[in-house]
Amino acid sequence: MYTEQPTTHSLVIGYILWIFGFLGAHRFYYGRQISGTIYFFTFGLFFIGWIIDIILIPGMNRDAAIRYNDGKIDFNLCWLLLAFLGLFSIHRMYMDKWVTGLIYLCTFGIFGFGYIYDLWTLNDQISLINGANTYG
What's residue 136's pLDDT? 55
pTM of the predicted model, to two decimals?
Answer: 0.85
Residue 7 has pLDDT above 70, yes or no: yes
Residue 2 has pLDDT above 50, yes or no: no
pLDDT at 134 over 90: no
Q: Quote the CA–CA distance of 76 and 53 in Å, as a whole number.
A: 19
Alpha-carbon dihedral 39, 104, 72, 34, rounded to 10 degrees:
20
Percent of the chain with pLDDT over 70: 93
Is the pLDDT at 6 greater than 70? The verdict is: no
Same domain for 25 and 62, yes or no, is yes
Tally of domains within the chain: 2
pLDDT one-digit tens code per residue, 64-75: 989 998 999 999
Domain that holds residue 103: 71-136
Does 131 share its domain with 83?
yes
pLDDT of residue 20 exceeding 50, the answer is yes
- Give CA–CA dist 29/10, Å, rounded: 10
